[in-house]
A and B are shown apart, each in its own frame.
Chain A
Amino acid sequence: MIEVIDLHVGFASSDVLKGVSLRVAQGERLAILGGNGSGKSTLAGWLAGWFSGGTHRLTAGGCLWNGKPWDDYTLVERAATVQLVGQFPAQHISGRAFTVAEEIAFGPENLGLPHEEIVTRRDETLAACHLEHLAGRDPFTLSGGEQQRLVIASALALRPKLMILDEPFSNLDPEARSHTLSVLNALPADVSVIIMDTNPDTVLGWANRLFVLHEGKISEFGNIRATLFDPTVIATIGLPAVTRCFLEIERGSGSAENLSRDNLPLTFVEAAAILRRSRSA
């Protein structure tokens, strides 16, 4: 279990996180939404134990994995426990692999696993992530979306207990997006997954819990609707695409139903039901 306790951190001359507390239990699927510059990537880095010292400044609080700070774990223990896939796939590629298959094996090799185990993990990951057709390619010749899928695969090959993904879908075509979600959903039940995003659409229907990060502070509202219809959330990240387009259509046509934040559609299924009713009315 990961626990963030009153985390205050800064970068250069600014305070980025101003007292963030969060507890993620085993197997939870959590989404953290926030606008650009809200501190999502900084929080992701601290959750994954990337920033202790350096240019990132910790002023109070911290992060604990099973009760101990990341500094108390060895690099190998940490890498086998938590994996962070950041926004820029090219920055994750090791530069020590000539092929996609070698890139996926790079992490397990560095855990010092037996050869057969490395090969098994490499081949299973290639298959599970649908990367077999790219196995012999140089990682740096892949397209942006293909690199993003490779980086997610390389992280999964370490079989972490906590996966953190920072805007993982923004560069993926629809097929790759739904496949990546299915790979995440097929992870063992004790693996926790945290997705950071600016876009509510990508995590609706996936997350068990939804948090909002705004100006360095995190909030969890009562439920998903209360979160998405919060005025600050609407002003910064905007409504889900379905809700926004539905409201535009409604403005033009007028609806037979009284719509409020309790029953405005968030998904296509909900929108279809209302539109079909109003058409037959």
Chain B
Amino acid sequence: MLEVRDLGFAYQGQPLLFDGVSTTVPDGHILAVVGRNGAGKSTLFKLLNGLLKPEDGEVLVGGKSISGRKISEIAAHIGTVFQSPEQQLFAGRVEEEVAFGPRQFGLPANQISERVSDALNRTSLLDQIARHPLDLSAAERRFLAIASVLAMRLPVLLLDEAQRGLDRVWTERLESILEAERSAGKSIVMICHDMDFVERNADTVLALGGRTPRQIPVPAFFSDTEVLAEVSVERPTPYRLREFMT
């Protein structure tokens, strides 16, 4: 379980971006973070994974506070797939990229290789094992970043626009990974601009950029026209179509 309590943050010389933001992502739950460009979605992720330090409040994983710990210690609890995978990939071979994380845990070689093949299999990248990460297509690079995080087998996953620019085939692959991780009891937070994707996959929504960010169940969020307008979010297609039927 991931808990965020009364988070406060401002970039230097700028007004307060977050003031008392709280949210809870139970085990086996997907929270979608939505809001207009520049609302602070990616900043929230950096406060969760330790790349930025909150001014107030704390972040807890499994009931224990991780605030103030080193990034490497936080990375043993929270895995992040960043918005641009090319900025997170660094190895010379696909399998090296995926093995890097589990290796930091000091696991024996056979367990590392089992985790690498499992993660690459789940992301449909097994046949790319020997390639250079930056020779992969954009979708494959994104899934390689996902595989690297899956291989860590962490309780909390952060995905920043992981669905962006994916075609039908890759979108369905991502959705089945999300479903499997949810069933495995992971706490998942995804930043997402695609409201149809949010409607299909998330349990609750945290909308940033409005007056008071609150965590709202998906159906209630998309039925609240006031909040939707405040945070500049479109209703998902099924909601808009059903309007025509009533």
Residues of A whose CB lies within 8 Å of any CB of B are 11-12, 34-37, 41, 87-88, 90-91, 141-146, 149, 167, 170-176, 198-199, 234-238, 241-242, 244-246, 248-249, 253, 268, 271-272, 275-276, 279
Contact = CB atoms under 8 A, between A and B. Distances in A.
A249 B241 contact: yes
B140 interface: yes
Contact of A36 (B36, B38, B42, B165): B165
Given A142-B38, A175-B232, A245-B241, A36 B84 contact: no
Contact of A271 (B36, B139, B244): B244
19 contacts: A12-B132, A36-B139, A36-B166, A91-B86, A142-B38, A143-B41, A149-B37, A171-B83, A171-B193, A173-B37, A175-B232, A198-B166, A236-B167, A242-B241, A244-B237, A245-B241, A249-B245, A268-B240, A279-B245
A170 B142 CA distance: 14
A11 B177 CA distance: 29
Interface in B130-171: 131-132, 135, 137-140, 161, 164-171
Interface residues of B, number: 40
A35 B193 contact: no
Contacts of A12: 131-132, 135
A35 B244 contact: no
* 6 closest residue pairs by CB, A with B: A145-B37, A238-B168, A36-B139, A35-B167, A37-B137, A173-B36
Contact of A37 (B35, B37, B139, B240): B139
Contacts of B161: 144, 170-171
A141 B12 CA distance: 12
B238 interface: yes
Interface of B: 11, 35-39, 41-42, 83-84, 86-87, 131-132, 135, 137-140, 161, 164-171, 193, 196, 232-234, 237-238, 240-242, 244-245
A102 B171 CA distance: 38
A175 B138 contact: no
Nearest to A234: B168
Interface centre among A41, A171, A244 (most CB of B within 10 A): A171
Given A36-B166, A36-B169, A198-B166, A174 B234 contact: yes
A171 B132 CA distance: 26
Nearest to B86: A88
Nearest to B196: A241
A244 B240 CA distance: 13
Contact of B169 (A87, A175, A236): A236
